[in-house]
Structure 1
Amino acid sequence: MFRIKKLDIFIAKQFGLLFIGTFFICQFVLMMQFLWKYVDELIGKGLSVDVLAEFFWHMGLMLVPQAMPLAILLSSLITFGNLGESSELTAIKAAGISLIQAFRSLIAISVAICVLSIYFQNSIGPEANRKLALMLISMKQKSPELEIPEGVFYDGIPNSNLYVSKKNMDTGKLYGIMIYRMTGSYEDQAIILADSGMLQSTAEKKHLLLTLWSGEWFENMQSQELAGSASVPYRRESFVQKHIVLDFDSDFNVSDGSSISNDARGKSFTQIVHDMDSLKQVYDSIGNNYYAADRLTFYRLASVTKNDSLRALQLATTSAYNVDTAYAHLTSQQKRTAISYALNRVGSRKSDLEFKSLITSDGDRLIRQHEIEWVAKITLALSCLIFFFIGAPLGAIIRKGGLGLPVLISVLVFILYYILDNSGYRMARSGMWTIWFGKSLAPAVLVPMAVFFTYKATNDSVVFNADLYADIFRRFFGLRIKRPIYRKEVVINDPHYADDLAQLQQMNNEIVEYSHTHRLKRAPSWVKVFFKYEPDNVMERIVPQLEQIIEDLSNSRDRTIINHLSMYPVMSERAHTRPFERKWLNIVAAVVVPLGFVLYMRMWRYRLRLQRDLKVVQTENKIIMGRINAILNR
């Protein structure tokens, strides 16, 4: 029976406080990232505070489901990182409580957040998405705030270019004004020059009232009598004061929602399913109509009688019909007519198919968008649980709290998730991948990571051990480290020089015989490498014997011997014989041709390296034997 324990309450409190803080941090980061995408639509539009507040409110509601997974990842990682850093996690395990038992309260909370995320995306998120999309469209359509610069032509006013040489910021007056008005064609152009002026907005914010002083007005005049000539009459007017009304809508009006009626992001699960059925029905009927129309035109079958069929069959069996021969008998005019007719038919058919493909592809795109959004709501909610099983085990493994390493790891995991999810979305949207495959790409990659980290954390396995991965890397690529042998300051047991000398001499003789019989330069046998393993008894005896001799001689006080012991290569006993220890793995590798070929070349490389190593061993053996003889003859 599940009972709430004090440990569950303690961990839940730790997690809850961190989750609230990290949620608002993640929400702020996502809002800034979203705002950066549309900053051009906000700057210079003169939007009021209430409009901006409504914009940020809907944007925050829209980004809540995206902030939840990242907040769970970061807060769970910090929670168990703090417990591990303060040794509380060690005390929990020492009390006989497994890591999964410590997780259970947070698992329940994560499941509740998943349910909350689905509810939010189904009830609150669609309305916030719809209103935010309408506000963005309205912001794009809104006229920019009137800010006339000095010394350049300003074209922010419709049908007018305004030039101001100087502005008085205190009084709002403009000096050295030049206006080019282009309300229609060339005959309607006007140029207005004024010594000074003042620009004000009307009360309804639909027009601008421009008051000019001491200026002249030059305007082309439309004339029906001179319509065909190059001369265009104009009028000139001098004025002391003049008022001009300019069209300039600076008010903010929310656009009609019909423009985003097909946006799946503004719909709930029920609406998405309903609209998908409607779209499929509509475009299926369009496709059926296209098919019926084509059957009457391009794919119409001529009605023939039985006698016509028999006559056609008789002609086909008695004489061959060659299109090229029939075309060659045509006159030049008939050939041109036939080619022109064929090209026109093909061009007409191509245009018709392109037009129809635009309509059908648009329908397919809308249906795919609805399916993608339906799946995305589920995968985004499940990512909360996936991120918990990544963050909590990682926190228990790294045992580091705070906002340092946990934040770095969380950012890297979230970047990986974002890249995979965005790539899958784009491929699914374009139709190159199926919907479920594209939107399940990120969970399919992160779930094995979560299982791996959870398994490692529950078994206290080492994950972030650089030496372990470096050793695996060296073994995979056949890399070796140098033999580190240094002269000892204190030697307890002196080397057995006489025995070592005899063994080195015997080893050199065996190496000479081994090199002569095995011929390591030759390519190894494919059958022996993968199917019929034959152990190399000589090397299995020489390599351990050499290590024993090196271990014994490392107690020597002779510097020459110590230096040359470091020259001995680190050799493997079986690396040149077969790829794997298990026979069935070797057989599988041989069947998989690319892998088998790579492993075969690897075996050959090891044989060549073994030949070089044996030569080095022979050389070093001779040098050390000479030093041992010198020591024994003293």
Structure 2
Amino acid sequence: MKRLHIFILKSYLSPLIMTFFISLFILVMQFLWRYVDDLVGKGLEVNVLAELMFYASLQVVPMALPLAILLASLMSFGNLGENYELTALKSAGISLPRIMAPLIIFTVIVCIGAFKFSNNILPVANLKLYSLLYSVRQASPEFDIKEKIFYDGLTNFSIKIEKKSKTNDMLYDIMIYDHRNKLAKNSNVTIADSGKLDFSDDKKFLKLTLWDGITYDENADRQKRNIRKRDKQQFRVDHFKKQVALIPMQGMDFSRYDEGLFKGHNRMKNLAQLGHDSDSLQQQRDKQIEKLKPRIQSNYFVQNKATKRKIKQKIDKNAVADSTLKQQLNQSLIENFPIANIDSVFETLDAQKKVMILENAVRRARDTKAQIDEQLIKIDKVDYHLVRHKIEWHRKFTLSFACFIFFFIGAPLGAIIRKGGLGMPVVISVLFFIVYYIIDTFGLKASKEEVWPPYMGMWLSSVVLFPIGVFLTYKAATDSAILNSDAYIIFFQKLFGRLKKKKKKKHLRNI
């Protein structure tokens, strides 16, 4: 039996390794396609790009591994079925669950390893990746000036050229606007017949050498900017044969940002950190709600002793002239001051006081609504982070459990279709993975929008696909031909035959 287990493991491991790296390559290419605009033209060094690709590869491992397990199990059991090796093993009295036993143990080990990877390695990889990607995004593109187009990539400078040489670095018909004077835009203009660009070794300065040019400089004064005093402005014109200028290249060099700026994101945390921060966010949310209650109560009528005492004082100050009504109101204070008696007091007031009271009530209601809305915005922000922390907490388990589910879909399905290679297994794997991805995306979106609880949205794909895996395993273990067209034809022929017999009997009874 050991030889059989070793044979099954060998037939499974080689397709698994191959399909894993194929899936990894495809997903990394998808990552590059997504962020290609942020990477091109930045002059990044090879080691920076290699580091970025390494962390991107680690990030897509939780998605590549389930796809690789599904494809590898389909291929391995499809090859066994196509070569009649499964038939030989079953004829020797070895059942399919027994054949799958070593792979089940191996898959459980892989699932545990995937969970450890998602919990311990993936948060660090995400932190490194997103901090590095943010640093790359902040770097300005390389200096690439084009003909007859103003280049605004330099801070406080705009450059335009009519022509540039294809054999050397010479530029012709150059126009440079200096915007360092914030008071008067376009007050400093330099026009040159030709020029040449050089960069400093650290790429922090641009050395611009100009020949045969003129500089127009308007020294605008903050106190002399109106039209009547325009003649008092100072103008300066400089003619030069050669001029050398050093322009600072701010942001052109690549610099790494502190990784501590990104540690608060939910994808950069493990289970312990997610659980701790979720509890903190929940406590913060509860405190925000507790702060909301007294604000509402302070702006509304509350039936307490202090309120009754204030109302009684107003009644005693001849707020109500009718002694009978006054006696009724005093009695009603003992009976929790019914609303009907409040209306009675309101009806005794004149029109001006009624308008004043209504306007005051509307103002207090608007103030209260504004306070509630302000507090609800704070609560919504806490809910936003709390939901995403819970989503990430469940994601640690669902991605690992997906490996287990895909094995029990791929292995029995491969034993049923009995087709190896990369043809049919690839098609079926892609279809199942697309279904899984669509369901998972739907559940994730529903959880983020708080339509469903996070646990329901994140486990939706597993709940849908797990019964399919159980069904396929049962059918493969009982040698049911679920993909045999003849079996379905016979089934529907029997079904339609029974329906025809029932109709015939019903027709004979009517006669």
Q: TM-score range by the shorter chain?
A: 0.7 to 0.9
CA contact (8 A) 2:295 2:371 kept: no
1:303 to 2:307 alignment: yes
Deviations 1:608-633 (A, max 9, x none): xx99xx9xxxxxxxxxxxxxxxxxxx
* Aligned partner letter, 1:145: E
Match of 2:317 in 1: none
Question: In 1, Cα distance between the equivalents of 2:167 and 2:349?
Answer: 87
Q: CA deviation at 1:144?
A: 1.1
Question: In 2, Cα distance between the equivalents of 1:274 and 1:193?
Answer: 63
Match of 2:26 in 1: 29
* Aligned partner letter, 2:482: V
Question: In 2, Cα distance between the equivalents of 1:425 and 1:338?
Answer: 50
Question: In 2, Cα distance between the equivalents of 1:21 and 1:55?
Answer: 23
The structure that has the greater radius of gyration is 1
TM-score for the superposition, normalised by structure 2 = 0.86
Unmatched segments (≥5 aa) in structure 1: 481-539, 541-570, 579-606, 615-634
Match of 1:441 in 2: 460
For residue 500 of structure 2, give the secondary structure of its aligned residue in structure 1. coil
Q: Does the C-alpha gap of structure 1 residues 344 and 98 become closer, same or farther in structure 2, counting only changes over 3 Å?
A: same
1:277 to 2:296 alignment: no
Aligned with 2:474 (options 435, 452, 455)? 455
1:88 to 2:85 alignment: yes
Deviations 1:100-123 (A, max 9, x none): 111011111110100110111111
Q: CA deviation at 1:37?
A: 1.5
Match of 2:197 in 1: 199
CA contact (8 A) 1:193 1:217 kept: yes
Question: In 1, Cα distance between the equivalents of 2:132 and 2:228?
Answer: 49
Question: In 1, Cα distance between the equivalents of 2:198 and 2:119?
Answer: 47
Unmatched segments (≥5 aa) in structure 2: 313-327
Aligned pairs for 1:161-200 (under 5 A) are: 161-183=158-180, 185=182, 187-189=184-186, 190-200=188-198
Match of 1:128 in 2: 125
CA contact (8 A) 1:188 1:220 kept: no
Question: In 1, Cα distance between the equivalents of 2:80 and 2:438?
Answer: 31
Match of 1:464 in 2: 483
Match of 1:240 in 2: 241
Question: In 2, Cα distance between the equivalents of 1:305 and 1:108?
Answer: 76
Question: In 2, Cα distance between the equivalents of 1:325 and 1:131?
Answer: 71
Aligned with 1:102 (options 99, 102, 122)? 99
Question: In 2, Cα distance between the equivalents of 1:200 and 1:318?
Answer: 88
Q: CA deviation at 1:78?
A: 0.1
CA contact (8 A) 2:292 2:372 kept: no
Match of 1:262 in 2: 264
Q: CA deviation at 1:329?
A: 1.8
Deviations 1:260-297 (A, max 9, x none): 23211111111111222222233333433344455445
Deviations 1:189-248 (A, max 9, x none): 322211112223333333322222221222332214413446553433222222333332
Question: In 2, Cα distance between the equivalents of 1:305 and 1:225?
Answer: 65
Q: Does the C-alpha gap of structure 1 residues 245 and 298 become closer, same or farther in structure 2, counting only changes over 3 Å?
A: farther
CA contact (8 A) 2:296 2:368 kept: no
Q: CA deviation at 1:179?
A: 1.9
Match of 1:321 in 2: 343
* Aligned partner letter, 1:212: L
Question: In 2, Cα distance between the equivalents of 1:317 and 1:419?
Answer: 56
User: How much identity, in percent, do the aligned residues show?
Assistant: 38
Match of 2:50 in 1: 53
Q: Does the C-alpha gap of structure 1 residues 5 and 266 become closer, same or farther in structure 2, counting only changes over 3 Å?
A: same
CA contact (8 A) 2:12 2:73 kept: yes
Q: Does the C-alpha gap of structure 1 residues 293 and 239 become closer, same or farther in structure 2, counting only changes over 3 Å?
A: farther
1:10 to 2:7 alignment: yes
CA contact (8 A) 1:18 1:75 kept: yes
Q: Does the C-alpha gap of structure 1 residues 7 and 240 become closer, same or farther in structure 2, counting only changes over 3 Å?
A: same
* Aligned partner letter, 1:208: L
Question: In 2, Cα distance between the equivalents of 1:195 and 1:470?
Answer: 86
Match of 2:420 in 1: 401
For residue 253 of structure 1, give the secondary structure of its aligned residue in structure 2. coil
CA contact (8 A) 1:82 1:401 kept: yes
* Aligned partner letter, 1:278: S
Match of 1:330 in 2: 352
Question: In 1, Cα distance between the equivalents of 2:453 and 2:422?
Answer: 39
CA contact (8 A) 2:123 2:270 kept: yes
Match of 1:360 in 2: 379
Q: Name the count of aligned residue pairs.
A: 485
Deviations 1:434-454 (A, max 9, x none): 111100110011101101111
Aligned with 1:431 (options 450, 465, 470)? 450
Q: Does the C-alpha gap of structure 1 residues 317 and 163 become closer, same or farther in structure 2, counting only changes over 3 Å?
A: closer
Q: Does the C-alpha gap of structure 1 residues 457 and 318 become closer, same or farther in structure 2, counting only changes over 3 Å?
A: closer
Aligned with 1:389 (options 396, 402, 408)? 408
Point out which structure has higher relative CO (alpha carbons under 8 A, 6+ apart): 2
TM-score for the superposition, normalised by structure 1 = 0.70
CA contact (8 A) 1:188 1:222 kept: no
Q: CA deviation at 1:185?
A: 3.7
Match of 1:369 in 2: 388
Match of 1:618 in 2: none
CA contact (8 A) 2:299 2:364 kept: no
Deviations 1:581-615 (A, max 9, x none): xxxxxxxxxxxxxxxxxxxxxxxxxx9xx99xx9x
Q: Does the C-alpha gap of structure 1 residues 434 and 202 become closer, same or farther in structure 2, counting only changes over 3 Å?
A: same
* Aligned partner letter, 2:61: V
Q: CA deviation at 1:60?
A: 0.9
CA contact (8 A) 1:188 1:221 kept: no
Q: Please, which moves more after superposition, 197-206 or 346-355?
A: 346-355
For residue 243 of structure 1, give the secondary structure of its aligned residue in structure 2. strand
- CA RMSD of superposed structures (Å): 3.2
CA contact (8 A) 2:387 2:454 kept: yes
Question: In 1, Cα distance between the equivalents of 2:21 and 2:223?
Answer: 72
Aligned with 2:63 (options 63, 66, 73)? 66
Q: CA deviation at 1:300?
A: 6.6
For residue 573 of structure 1, give the secondary structure of its aligned residue in structure 2. helix
